[in-house]
A = this chain, B = another copy of it.
C-alpha cells in the first residue's frame, strides 16, 4: 500500500501528504527529494523540525574525511533552511497549531509544493505556501519561493542563507570555509576540502513588498540574511530565494561572477517563469520517457512516473566523471557509492530511451579501468576487476572491515569488496546491451573494446582449471545472493563470466575481420592474439552449472545440499530487513537454502535463451519459495521472471511490492535515501517484464505479458538512433518510428510472435 495520495490533474502526477505525520518525515524527505542528476536536495521543510535529516548532495562530489573514514558523498551546506518568525514568535511545524497541511511532489516537473495553514500563540490564521525545484535547465540552480498571508497585519521575519554547519552524521568534510556578501545582497560561500576540492554556493533572497529591514550575519561556517517585512492583512508576501551551487577544485577559475549573473537572471525571470522553463525541460524528457497505460491504476501510473522522476534525478546526464549512487543524491546511505545497481537496474531505462546518458555511465566505467586493473593486480589476477563499490575513481571503496561488532569488539571483514566479483561481468553485460540497441561502433572502438579485453582477461585468471573436472571453475565467490558466501561456481557468476569472455572473443574476432586496422590498434597493447586463444580455451572449458535431476539449476556447488527452513514467511513479511539474522547467526544462514535476493532468477532474466521454458518456470518457482527478498533489488527481478513465464498473478504481486519499496506505509524505509536499483527495476518490470522487450544483436524481441487490467501500454524505445513508439494491447502490437537522431535511417528488425518484422514507418501486428 502506497503511503501517499496520488492525484492526476492536467496530465500532472502528484504524490501528496495531506496531513503531517511526523513519523514519515525522513521517508518523505527522501521520496520528495528534488534531484537533477547533478544536485540532490532532500525535501526537508524550511523551518527546523525535531526529527529531520537535511541533506544536499552533488553528483561525484566525494571526499574521505580521514584515514579511518570511507570516501563518501559530501552532505553539502544547506540552502533550504529558513527561520521564520511572525510577530516575534518562532514558527515550527512541531509546535504550531496546524489547521491545514498539504505537501505534494509533482513527479512530472519535480516541483515540491507545501501548504500550511496554522496558528501561533499570538498570531492566528497564517497561510504559508512553499514551492521549490532544482532546475533541469541549469542544473546548478535551486529556485525557491515562499508565499505568506496573514489575517491581521504582522511583522514577518525570515532568516536564511547558507548553513555550512551540516555534516555527514557528525563528520565534517570541509577544512576551510569563507563566507561573503556581495553588493549587500548576494550571499556566497567557498568551502574547501583538504584535497583541494571546492564547494561554492551563492544565494539571493528577498521580496518586493514592504521590506522593513535586512542585514547579514556571520556564524561559524554560515552566512545568513535577516529580512523583516511588515505585511498587511490579506496581502501576500512573496519571498524568493535563488541559489547557485558549483563544485570543482581550487585551481578552477572562480565562478563568482557567473554565479551572480545566473542569480540576476533568476531575479529578472521570477519563479513562475523559471517554473515554466522547468516544465518545458521536463516535457522534453517525458515525451519519450513516459509510459502510457490504459487500465493501469492511478497508483501504478504514479509509481512508474515516480521511478522515472528519480531515475532522471539520480543519473548524471552530461558527464562521465561520476555515476549513480546507490541512494542517488537523496541521502547518506551507502555513502553515495556506485554498485552493480547502476548497470543492471538503472541503466536499462537510459540504454533504451536516452542512450547518450547510458553511454556516459559506461564511460565512467571506462575511466575506472585503471582502478579495476589495480584491484585485479592486488588480488593476483590479470586484466580489470571492477570494484564492488566505486566512488570518484575506479578504486575499490568497499571498507575492508565493518564497524566493530559492539558486543565482541571484532570487526568482521566485509567480503563483498573482496569476493563479490560478478559486477565486472554485469558491466560488460550492460555495455553489450547498449551496443545491441545503439550499434554504437564508435563507442566500442574508443572505450568498449578495451573494457571487453581487460575484463575477459580478468575472468580467465580468476577461474582455475580443476585437476578433477579439467574445467575452469570459479571458486570462493559470492554471487548476487549475499546470504551465501565463499561458495564455488555460483551459477550466475559463471554464466555471466562466460558471457563476458564470449562477448570479448566474438567482438575482437569480428573486428579482426571487419576492421583489421582498428583491430591492430589493440594488438600491441594487449597481445590480442594470445588473449583470443586464451579466451577460446576458457570458453571451451568453463564450467557452466547444469540443471540437476529435478530440473533445478544449482545456485552453486553446495547450495542444493543445504537444509531448508519452514518458517520463511515470517521473515518475508517482517517490516524489518534481515530479520532472519535476529533468529539465526550469519554462519547458520549461509548454510541454509535461503536467499536474500534473486540470484539464479537474475540469471534467467539476463540470459533468457539459456534454458528451456520449462526449466525457467521450475527454477523461478523453486527459488521464489526460498527467497526472503531482503534486498530491494529482488522484487523487480522476480516480477520480470514471473511475467516472462506468464505467471501474471505472482508477477503483478512482485511488481506491486517493487513499486512500494520506497512508497509504502513502512516509515522505517528509505530514511537514508531512495532505492535506486528498485526504482530502475520498476521500469524494467514494465518494459522487460510486461512488455517483454529483449534485445538481440540486430533485432528487438517483444513478447508481452500484460497484467489483466492493462488494456494498452505505449512507450518509446530508441533503437539505433531512432525513436520507436511501441503500442501493445491484448490484440495487437503497433510500432511506429518517430524522431531520427542519425542520418542513416536503418530499417529496424523486430521479433514478434516468433516472426521477424521489419519496421519502416509503421507496423501493426496481431497478437
Contacts and interface: CB of A to CB of B under 8 A. Distances in A.
A412 interface: no
A397 to B, nearest CB: 16
Contact of A409 (B180, B220, B407): B180
Interface stretch (A167-175, A523-531, A544-552, A678-686): A167-175
A115 interface: no
A653 interface: no
A171 B218 CA distance: 16
Interface string A48-90: 1110000000000000011111000000000000000000001
A223 B406 contact: yes
A181 to B, nearest CB: 5
A519 interface: no
Contacts of A67: 175
A165 B67 CA distance: 18
Nearest to A49: B50
Contacts of A65: 172, 175
A292 to B, nearest CB: 43
Interface centre among A180, A403, A406 (most CB of B within 10 A): A406
A172 B171 contact: yes
A351 to B, nearest CB: 35
A175 B172 CA distance: 10
Interface string A422-460: 000000000000000000000000000000000000000
Contacts of A409: 180
Interface in A179-195: 179-181, 184, 192, 194
A168 B165 CA distance: 9
Nearest to A95: B94
A344 interface: no
A746 interface: no
Contacts of A219: 169
Contact of A216 (B166, B171, B220, B406): B406
A218 B406 contact: yes
B50 A94 contact: yes
A92 interface: yes
B184 A407 contact: yes
A143 B95 CA distance: 31
Contact of A170 (B164, B223, B406): B164
Interface centre among A68, A170, A175, A219 (most CB of B within 10 A): A170
Contacts of A221: 169-171
Contacts of A92: 50, 94
A176 interface: yes
A404 interface: yes
A178 interface: yes
Contact of A404 (B164, B178, B220, B406): B178
> For chain A, what secondary structure do more than half of its interface residues adopt (helix, strand, loop), or is it mixed?
loop
A487 B135 CA distance: 55
A667 to B, nearest CB: 12
A150 B165 CA distance: 39
Contacts of A49: 50
A165 B170 CA distance: 4
A181 B95 contact: no
Contacts of A176: 66, 68
Contacts of A170: 164-167, 172, 220-221
Contacts of A180: 404, 406-407, 409
Contacts of A184: 407
A718 to B, nearest CB: 42
Interface in A1-41: 22
B406 A194 contact: no
A220 B169 contact: yes
A164 B172 CA distance: 13
Interface string A198-230: 000000000000000000101111010000000
Contacts of A218: 403, 406
A90 B192 CA distance: 38
A48 B92 CA distance: 14
Contacts of A165: 167, 169-170
Nearest to A178: B404
Nearest to A220: B169
Contacts of A90: 22, 50
Given A169-B221, A170-B167, A170-B221, A403 B50 contact: no
B167 A172 contact: yes
Contacts of A68: 175-176, 192
Contacts of A168: 220
A167 B163 CA distance: 14
Nearest to A223: B406
B220 A66 contact: no
Contact of A172 (B48, B94, B172, B407): B172
Contact of A403 (B22, B179, B216): B179
A245 to B, nearest CB: 18
Contacts of A175: 65-69
A179 B48 contact: no
A450 to B, nearest CB: 38
Contacts of A194: 66
6 contacts: A65-B172, A65-B175, A165-B169, A166-B170, A179-B404, A179-B406
Given A169-B220, A170-B172, A184-B407, 17 more contacts: A49-B50, A50-B90, A50-B95, A66-B175, A66-B194, A68-B176, A68-B192, A94-B94, A164-B170, A165-B167, A167-B167, A167-B170, A168-B220, A170-B221, A172-B172, A218-B406, A223-B406
6 nearest CB pairs, A to B: A165-B170, A66-B175, A68-B176, A169-B220, A172-B172, A181-B406
